[in-house]
Chain A
Amino acid sequence: MTPALPLYLAVSGILFAIGLAGVLLRRSPLTILLSLEIMLNSVNLTLVAFSRQVGGSDGQVFALVVIGIAAAEVVIGLGLVIAMTRRQMVLDTDELRTLSG
């Protein structure tokens, strides 16, 4: 017996919420980026699950695009972390509030 679609969607929803909690709770930009990866991957799982349900490969192409965008986002994020480290800034998102008005 194969697991039904709602099971996959529930797993993906729980993963999304865990990633969201990580983004909200953690203060290290590195851990926030890791939590963002969890959120993106949970959405990928949803796309793949619906792609299987519908029987077309469109959702999988979409998930592939999401993987590419996630790679770009990680490059930018890690570049910012490296720039912050080189400027001897504290790696704490609560301390980095120069732009928060």
Chain B
Amino acid sequence: MELVVFFVAAGAAIATAVAVVAQKNPFVSALALLGNLASLAALMLLLQAQFLAAAQIIVYAGAIMVMFLFVIAYVGPRSEIGPGTRKPWQVVLAIIAAALIAIEIVVVVFSANFGEPASIDGSTFGGPAEIGQALMTNYLLAFEIVSVILFMAAVAGVVFGAGGRPLRLSTEEVLVKEGESAEARRRQASRAALDAARDAQPGEGAQ
């Protein structure tokens, strides 16, 4: 029974991963990655990692993928790019390199002898209590470092997203861009009238 679940989940994980890489539309890619995360969560459940499976769904599928979908929707059709300048041999070489790494890992993994898995007594293994205790005792430093890194990433994300070029064009830039807008014409007219008045005034004063 567990073997059936394993092969279904593993097949789904590999198929959705291929879909992520092969799809032209990034929206479809993101949705395929959602399926990939779900099947990986199933595999983690098979490995008695209940808390991690839940965290995977909540953090990845719930937060990170939603952010991805928001950005893909924000970028919109600009994310579809035309044919590039890559040479065919570069593509072939990349595929060969990836295939070699996959073959190497599979061969090594099946030829190694890992022995029997440890017996797990009781039901605390992989539960939130055990993970939380490990995080708060042995791995407290790693936990704190991750929190600091996340904070730095949040600040950097805001700086990247909102810094630099202003979110909206200034009114002057908009006027320059539109050129023909009524506001630009009105400003031009008023400036011309002002110039005319300034040109005319010294002449009148001289006479």
Contacts and interface: CB of A to CB of B under 8 A. Distances in A.
Contact of A9 (B13, B99, B109, B120): B109
A10 B106 contact: yes
Contact of B68 (A49, A68, A74): A74
B150 interface: yes
| Residues of B in contact with A, size category | 35 or more
A16 B156 CA distance: 28
A93 to B, nearest CB: 9
Contacts of A79: 156-161
A11 B43 contact: yes
A48 B29 contact: no
Contacts of B189: none
Nearest to B21: A22
B47 A51 contact: yes
A21 B98 contact: yes
Interface residues of A, number: 72
Contact of B71 (A30, A68, A94): A30
A58 B102 contact: no
Contacts of B98: 17-18, 20-21, 24
Contact of B13 (A3, A15, A48, A94): A15
A72 B153 contact: yes
B146 A68 contact: yes
A14 B26 contact: no
A64 B143 CA distance: 9
B125 A55 contact: yes
B149 A69 contact: yes
Interface stretch (B49-57, B171-179, B191-199): B49-57
B23 to A, nearest CB: 8
Contacts of A52: 47-49, 117-118, 120, 126
Given A11-B13, A51-B49, A57-B131, A27 B81 contact: yes
Nearest to A20: B98
Nearest to A78: B71
A78 B157 contact: yes
Interface of A: 1-3, 5-11, 13-22, 24-28, 30-31, 33-35, 37-38, 41, 44-45, 48-49, 51-55, 57-58, 60-61, 63-65, 67-76, 78-83, 85-87, 90-92, 94
Interface of B: 2-3, 6, 10, 13-14, 17-18, 20-21, 23, 26, 29-30, 33, 36-37, 40, 43-44, 46-49, 51-52, 55-56, 59-60, 63-64, 67-68, 71-72, 74-75, 78-81, 84-86, 91, 94-95, 97-99, 101-102, 105-106, 109-110, 112, 114, 117-120, 125-126, 130-131, 134-135, 138-139, 142-143, 146-147, 149-150, 152-154, 156-161, 163-165, 167
Given A10-B109, A38-B20, A71-B63, 9 more contacts: A15-B17, A16-B102, A17-B105, A30-B72, A57-B134, A72-B152, A83-B164, A87-B165, A94-B86
